Amino acid sequence: MDAAGSAVEIVEVGPRDGLQNERTLVSTAAKIAYIEALVAAGARRIEATSFVHPKRVPQMADAEEVMAGVPRGDGVRYIGLVVNERGLDRALAAGVDEVNVVVVATETFSQRNQGMSVLEGVRSFGVISARARSAGLRVTATVGASFGCPFEGEVDPAAVGALVRSCASAGADEIALADTIGVGVPGDVARLVSEVRAVTDLPLRFHFHNTRNTGYANALTAVALGASALDSSTGGIGGCPFAPAATGNIATEDLAYALRRSGIATGLDLAALVSAATLIGGELGIVLPALLGRAGDFPAGLSPERRL
């Protein structure tokens, strides 16, 4: 990869996707402290919470309280995940800077995840997008299960391309392709990029889970193919409550290390990321999947990011 001097934006999703699948309910104060630690580490786009029904995702029941306590300023933008207009109402009232709206690529998973068909999901996205943009918010359309479905198996890249075309036409500012269950490989990334670039030139973001240990290879491939942003979760925590066997996201600190060694800047402080991961790992009482905190940086004592 000849990427020296280039950069990619990291969207930190630990406070939302990282925590939503964990059994331990983290206190509001601890969530805010976690976000403060992420901001101190250089994170500037943070998916802070989701505005879904508390009975569906109990871990996100305190969305408004979290947003009321997060640090503002310094160029930090907070993203709220919404799945319907009620969620958008809450997100707008809570003062998010962006919304992330999920449209799922398969019928079965769409029903399980959002209680609506794919077509209904597209229509809902159009309504939410129009209202959010009129309020001055940036809108991301995330195509869930782009790489594979836990219920239906393989997903046709052409179907993903068609969904992307619909979302782009409906007002998306950014397209995110999600490997919700971590089945993709670099060849799949290339095929999906080809499909998407045939229908839109919107900024392209990727969301990888490391279920089968291919997430980092997929992320580096996505960057080489022009991705503008990558999702990751400090500590490698996370998953999807509605997708069987969906394990954690790729870890922010491990991803930032791989990118830095490849000459790609992220603006993140690796040591501070490890500290943030240690904080949330202690709250959850788990051994984190991330590896940088165990192995350490290389060369030892190197200042994070080499200030790339």
Contact 164, 141 (CB under 8 A): yes
Tell me if residue 149 is catalytic.
no
* CA separation for the pair 120, 201 (Å, rounded): 25
The strand pairing partners of 208, in sequence order, are 179
d(CA 125, CA 130): 8
Cα end-to-end span (Å), the chain: 17
Residue 205 pairs with which residues in a beta bridge? Answer: 176, 229
State how far the alpha carbon of 242 is from the alpha carbons of 19, 31, 108, 210, in Å: 14, 22, 11, 17
Question: Are the C-beta atoms of residues 89 and 129 closer than 8 Å to each other?
Answer: no
Residue 132, both tokens:
């959010």
Among candidate residues 10, 149, 160, 240, the one labeled active-site is 240
Amino acid sitting at position 285: G
Catalytic residues: 240
